[in-house]
Structures are given as C-alpha cells and as structure tokens.
Chain A
C-alpha cells in the first residue's frame, strides 16, 4: 500500500519544485536586439549614482520628455529624502534585465530591477529605458 503513496508524494514534490521553478523567474523576456544589455546595466548604475548624488539636472538630462515633466523638484526631493533614510550607499547587490513592449503604443522598453544596499536598508529600484536609452520609468521601494 505504501508504494503508490510514495509515488504520489514524489509527484507532489515534483509539482512543487516545478511551481517554484516557474516562480523563480525563468520566464524573463529577452531584450530585443535594439538594446545592449551591458549598456542597460551601466545606465542603471548611472541612474542610481545620480539619485545618490541628488543630481536632479543629470537625471532630467537622461529622461524622456514625459519623465522630465514628472520629475519635478518636489518629486525628486521626496525621492532623495526616502533614499537618504537608508543611509550611505554601499553597492548594487543584484540586477535583472528584461525587455517589454507597451501594449498600447507598441514601443519597446528595457526594464531593470536592481537591489541596492544602503547602510540601513536595501532599496529595490525598477527602472526602464527607451531604445534611445532615455530614462522612461523610475520606481523604488
């Protein structure tokens, strides 16, 4: 009687592993040929450096027109304050890059999730770039 039970338990364990393998993010969409992954990673590091340096002009210069309009002094000051609460910047622990296409406009973007370690806490940035490597989205938590 125990053999079929063990077999079913094995199947359940396999199902659990498959479930989490799917969750583990093996499904990231590849960047299109219009993006260079290394360039995207470097641009991400640059954005995080500009935030750490509170360089508003530098951030706006990198941004799309729409993003530039959204990055008002008030918004940027809120970002600097929130990130500053984490203490001194230490390093970027992990970074993942993928491509996505906006459903309404058909425009392609590179999307990056980066975990940045600060003295007190870790901040996760989600940053997106257009094909011209303009900053098109910035989110942190």
Chain B
C-alpha cells in the first residue's frame, strides 16, 4: 500500500469517527434524555426509528461528501480511492461494534454479528462509490441524496422488520440482497473513474 492509499484509509476511518461517535451519537444520547423524545418514541416507534435510521445516512454520507470535497481533491480520481476510503470507514465502524462484543461474548456466539459487519463494510464501500460517482459525473448533490436515501432505507430495515417473527433472518437477508445489488452497481461504476496506474507509474509521481 502506498502512502497515499494509507491516507485514504485513515481518512475513511476518521470520517466515521467524526460523523458517528463524535457527533451523531452524542446528539442522540442528548435527545434520549428528553421526555419529549421518549414520549414521541413510545407513541410513534416506527416513525422515530426511521428518522433515527435516516439521521445515520445524513451524517455519514454528509461527512463522506465533505471529506471528498475538501480533503480528497481533485474530484476526478481512481476507482481505488472510494474503495479504500470506504474500507477505512467500514472497518472503523466494525471495530467500534465488534471489539466490545468480543470482550464479553465467545467468538462462537458472534458468527452472525461478524457476517453482518462484513456485509456492512461492503455496503460502506458501495456507498462511498455512490458519493464519489457524483464527483466523477459532476452531479454531486444528486448522488449525495441518493447515498443518504440508500443508507437511510437500509438502516430502516431494523425498525420496519423487527416486529416480524424471525426478524434477524429477514433483516440480514435483506441486507445481503442490498449488498449484492450495490456491489454490482459499484463494479458498473468503475467506468466513471480515471484508469488506475501501475506501481511503477505511481513511483514516478
């Protein structure tokens, strides 16, 4: 991995850390202290659940956009940039969720959680590709809204499907289906990017 690729990975991780643990989660925690919020959640669990799901999309995709806009110029880039940035984002998220779980539960009980995180990492890579596509095609706002919508809808699977029997299988199955479609879309998007350079060319940069 070259220095620039390591930087993309670290920026991806930083993007997750800023958008979620440093911003969105404290705001959510603050809201949960409010009796107005708790009352609304009791009366309208599905609506509030979906709003919470979409807030993740707004924060994560919004910050992905800001990172690309201000820290990862020029706009036109190689396909590997969103892939590596998305890996950094997804792996940081997986570590934040799985490390505490591995400390209290045996590995044998975390098979499904690990599989879900693998799917989530692939989804994070695909969502990064969506945001980056806006920069390649000069339709930034459109692709940002698209990424927020996809992210919000995927997260909404939890409040929407939780009341059903076998909800875990339904949620994970739906997530897997979305990941398959998004991976296909990402592969299709390669044509929008500058062709990748080989390692000799990179050395000359």
Interface residues of A (CB under 8 A from B): 1-2, 4-5, 8-9, 11-13, 15-16, 19-20, 22-29, 94-98, 100, 111-115, 124, 126
Q: How far is the CA of A11 from the CA of B144 in the complex (A)?
A: 10
Whether B75 and A12, one on each chain, are in contact in the complex, defined by CB atoms closer than 8 angstroms, is no
Which residue of chain B has its CB nearest to the CB of A11?
A: B141
Q: Can you list 7 A-B pairs, Cβ within 8 angstroms, ordered by A?
A: A9-B69, A15-B148, A25-B37, A28-B43, A94-B34, A112-B39, A113-B38
Whether A111 and B43, one on each chain, are in contact in the complex, defined by CB atoms closer than 8 angstroms, is yes
B31, B36, B51, B140 — most chain A CB neighbours (10 Å): B36
Besides A12-B61, A23-B31, 16 new A-B residue pairs in contact (Cβ under 8 A), listed by A number = A1-B75, A4-B140, A4-B141, A8-B65, A8-B144, A9-B69, A12-B62, A12-B144, A15-B148, A16-B62, A19-B54, A23-B40, A96-B36, A96-B39, A111-B43, A124-B38
Which chain B residues border A24 with CB–CB below 8 Å?
Answer: 31, 34, 36-37
Min CB gap A19→B, angstroms? 4
Which chain B residues border A4 with CB–CB below 8 Å?
Answer: 140-141
Whether B40 and A27, one on each chain, are in contact in the complex, defined by CB atoms closer than 8 angstroms, is yes
Whether A16 and B59, one on each chain, are in contact in the complex, defined by CB atoms closer than 8 angstroms, is yes
Whether A15 and B58, one on each chain, are in contact in the complex, defined by CB atoms closer than 8 angstroms, is yes
Whether A12 and B65, one on each chain, are in contact in the complex, defined by CB atoms closer than 8 angstroms, is yes
* B31 CB contact (under 8 Å) in A11, A20, A27, A95: A20
Measured as residues with beta carbon below 8 angstroms from the partner, the interface class of chain B is 20 to 34
Helix, strand, loop or mixed for chain B's interface? helix
Which chain B residues border A96 with CB–CB below 8 Å?
Answer: 34-36, 38-39
Helix, strand, loop or mixed for chain A's interface? mixed
Whether A98 and B43, one on each chain, are in contact in the complex, defined by CB atoms closer than 8 angstroms, is yes
Q: How far is the CA of A94 from the CA of B42 in the complex (A)?
A: 16
Interface flag for B48 (CB, 8 Å): yes
Q: How far is the CA of A22 from the CA of B51 in the complex (A)?
A: 7
Min CB gap A61→B, angstroms? 26
Which chain A residues border B29 with CB–CB below 8 Å?
Answer: none
Whether A27 and B47, one on each chain, are in contact in the complex, defined by CB atoms closer than 8 angstroms, is yes
